[in-house]
A and B are shown apart, each in its own frame.
Chain A
Amino acid sequence: MSSVLVSEDMLHAYIDDRLPPDERAEVERYLGENAVDANRVAAYRAQRQLLKQTFDTVLHEAVPRRLETASMRSQRTPWARVAAVFVWIAVGSVLGWVLRDYRDARTSPDVELVQRARMAHVIYSAETRRAVEVAASQEQDMIRWLSRRMNTAVRVPNLTEFGFEALGGRLLPGSRGPACQLMYQNAAGKRLTIYLSRDALGERPVRYSDQDTVHVVFWSDGTLAFAVSAELNRDELARIASLIERQSRTQGG
């Protein structure tokens, strides 16, 4: 520090091995004549080495699983799942086209589900004052009530990220027992409904129906069949359906 030639910065650069050879020689010459700084530099060197020795042990520890998963994109972003929904819709469309004659000949449970869901959507979403039986403001009551009547845990998916707020729900007759409808509305007054039915006959992939202006995306997880209806385009509806599917899966069980 006392030398004009050797600055404090140079001493640190010397410790960190960042000096060109000529400057390093200069520092060494200086330290040979200045015992106080030489001791200081030796102490800094030792602490640098000790720090490395102390914390290098962490490098050899097994990485906790939560950090492994935190670094996986699929875990964090919905895109892979959204893509999967699109794939299923494509598969479903092709299958639906190929099998349309069979379907028309004999009304399948899936077609019935879509018909009921669409009908319920058209009828109740037109209601301004009595759109729902139980308002979402009493969400806990509504969930308890619907779950009891449906005989399975019913969740109310959160769709605020798409601008839809839950208005409430109502119980409806299904083909083999109770069904229910959850109704949502966005700021523009557009309504979206989720029709839940226990009529499901097993797992069904996500499929899409666009026979009129009300589009329906439907699938079943084996316990509950879901049909999401709204006057939205296919992409928007698929994204919302993907979110609902994800929420019902992560919260369920």
Chain B
Amino acid sequence: MLTESAIRDQIPRLRRYARALTGNRDAADDLVQDTLERALSRSALFRPGGDARPWLFAIMHNIFVNQVRSAAARKTTTLEPGGPEPAMQDSSQDGLAMRDIQRALELVPDEQREVMLLVALEDFSYAEAARVIGVPVGTVMSRLSRGRERLRVLLAGEVELVPLKVMK
């Protein structure tokens, strides 16, 4: 059985990941809320002695994938008013770099972005990331490699910031 406080402790991390994943504050918090609710309703299924963090991230992954599949709520919410995220209002050198990477990140395919963020933000091992997403480690590695290269090219300005469908 998972305790409420064990779940609550993970909220800041879930929010960080969701923010990077969706690129939108409200959409991210909606995702976190759905995750918490589902986690509570399924806490009886939690393996005793297990680690709450990958379990919660796996729940979030499933909800996110379903949302994207059902006509991508993310794409519409990013267009809604609400303005830029707080992290983007800084116009210093760092602030600009942060803004660039947020924008570039949105142009990385969801599945590659997920892996990059699980590894970079959460510091999950490749095996853990594979379990969270439910794919083999080899798939994690290839997504990581393609995602990083994609982001590098985007940030280096080697391609125009155009929608990804062109690349497929």
Residue numbers of A with Cβ under 8 A of B are 8-9, 12-13, 16, 18, 40, 43-44, 47-48, 50-59, 61, 63-64, 66-68, 70-73, 76-77
Contact B40 A77 (CB under 8 A): yes
B133-168 CB contact bits vs A (8 Å, 1 = yes)? 000000001001100110110011000000000000
Question: Which residues of B72-112 are within 8 A (CB) of A?
Answer: 86-87, 94, 97-98, 101-102, 105
Binding site for A on B (CB under 8 A): 4, 7-8, 11-13, 15-17, 19-20, 29, 32-33, 36-37, 40-41, 43, 86-87, 94, 97-98, 101-102, 105, 116-117, 119-121, 123, 125-126, 141, 144-145, 148-149, 151-152, 155-156
Bound-state Cα–Cα, A61 to B119, Å: 22
CB-defined contacts of B97 to chain A, threshold 8 Å: 50
Q: Which residues of B contact A47 (CB under 8 A)?
A: 101, 120, 148, 151-152, 155
A51 touching B117, Cβ below 8 Å = yes
Question: A12 with B11: in contact, given A50-B97, A51-B101, A70-B36 (CB under 8 Å)?
Answer: no
Docked-complex contact B36 and A9, CB < 8 angstroms: no
Residue of B whose beta carbon sits closest to that of A43: B152
Residue from B29, B32, B36, B120 in contact with A51 in the complex, judged by beta carbons closer than 8 Å: B120
Knowing A51-B121, A67-B32, A67-B33, the reply to whether A56 touches B16 (Cβ < 8 A) is yes
Whole-angstrom distance between the alpha carbons of A47 and B100 in the complex? Answer: 11
Residues of chain A lying within 8 A (CB to CB) of residue B94: 53
A63 to B105: give the CA distance in the assembly, Å: 24
Known: A43-B156, A54-B101. A66 touches B33 (CB 8 A): yes
> Which residues on the A side are within 8 Å of B36 (C-beta)?
67, 70-71
Nearest opposing residue in chain A for B122, CB measure: A52
Are A51 and B37 in touch, CB under 8 angstroms? no
Chain A residues, CB < 8 A from B145 = 8-9, 12
Knowing A8-B145, A76-B41, say if A61 contacts B15 (CB, 8 Å): yes
Given known contacts A57-B87, A63-B15, A71 and B8 CB-to-CB distance under 8 angstroms:
yes
**Residue in A9, A54, A57, A70 whose beta carbon sits within 8 Å of that of B141 in the complex:** A9
B16 touches A59 (CB 8 A): yes
Contact A40 to B152, CB < 8 A, known contacts A58-B15, A59-B13: yes
Q: Known contacts A43-B156, A67-B33; is A76 also within 8 Å of B119 by CB?
A: no
The 8 closest A-B pairs by CB, nearest first: A58-B16, A70-B36, A54-B98, A43-B152, A71-B8, A55-B20, A48-B120, A51-B120
A56 / chain B contacts, CB cutoff of 8 Å: 16, 121
Q: A18-B125, A72-B4 are in contact. Are A59 and B41 (CB under 8 A)?
A: no
